[in-house]
Amino acid sequence: MLAKTMKFTCFMLVAFFVTACVTTGDIGKRKVDKQKALEANVKLGMAYLQQKKRDSALRAFNKALEFDDNSAEAHQGMALVHQLNGETALAESSFKKALRSRADFSRAGIELSYGRFLRQQGRCDEAMKYFESAGKDIAYPNRSDALYHLGLCTQELGDEPRAKAAYEYALNLNNSYAPAALELAHMSFAERDYANAKKYLDVYAANSRQSARSLWLGIRIERIFGNKDKEASYALALKNLHPYSKEYLEYKNLIENRK
């Protein structure tokens, strides 16, 4: 309840800021502060996106573009809304405008978003250069995320060594970055490097909620090490948390085949 109240309060402050900052001076002679209005509407649009209010977000980003039609941030916001709406052509157009426009922050954030969009469209060969570029920007705080997605793309294209290197780099930059740890755990397991598979899976478990995929991997690792109690613990969690997952079906098949 407290978290929801704080989110609502922050949202209301942003909304108030939008109203308050667009005009300054006397009531009869208002002067538009374009930069503040632009920033406020972008923040408001992002807040609406977090609340899954796409139409309201679209209006806020459109308003921001009225103040500056060369704002990379506003075009990126538009792209994200179109992407969520499944409007592929509009999303790509807005992403490209964002990349061409003036950005008040690191362009790496736009490159990562556009790369994820391209990967979603099955265009990993195009997405890779954007992930690489974002991952090389040492001022960008989400480099690990960019490198992780670079790893996913290279793995999908069949380049396992390059994917592994990208995941390792991501985890080296942020030793609690769970997504890369899980991929390395799976790769290590496939290579029969079970000690490292367990090590990476432990990193994942310490920094993320267990997924069906991670629990199923945990079952197989503990089975190899002969740790029946830990295996049973993973199995119970898989059954309780993900009873309709394909991983649980695979586990049930494994148990039935042993009978």
Specify if 42 maps to a domain. yes
CATH number at residue 43: 1.25.40.10
**What values do phi and psi take at 209, rounded to 5?**
-70, 145
pLDDT tens, position by position, 34-52: 889 999 999 999 999 999 9
Q: Compute the distance between CA of residue 236 and CA of residue 230 in angstroms, rounded to an integer.
A: 10
- Chain-centroid distance of CA 117 in Å reads 11
Work out the pLDDT band at 256, boundaries 50, 70, 90.
confident
Single-letter residue type at 100: R
Q: Token pair for residue 217?
A: 């991997």
Percent of the chain with pLDDT over 90: 80
The DSSP-derived string for 24-76 is ES-TTS-EE-HHHHHHHHHHHHHHHHHTT-HHHHHHHHHHHHHH-TTBHHHHH
**What predicted TM-score, i.e. pTM, was given to this entire model?**
0.83
**How many domains is the chain built from?**
1
The DSSP-derived string for 94-136 is HHHHHHHSB-SS-THHHHHHHHHHHHHTT-HHHHHHHHHHHHH
Specify if 87 maps to a domain. yes
Specify if 135 maps to a domain. no
Specify if 75 maps to a domain. yes
pLDDT exceeds 80 at position 28: no
Give the range of the structural domain holding residue 70, as residue numbers without chain letter.
Answer: 13-19+32-105
Half-sphere exposure of 213 (CA within 13 A, CB side): 11
Specify if 239 maps to a domain. no
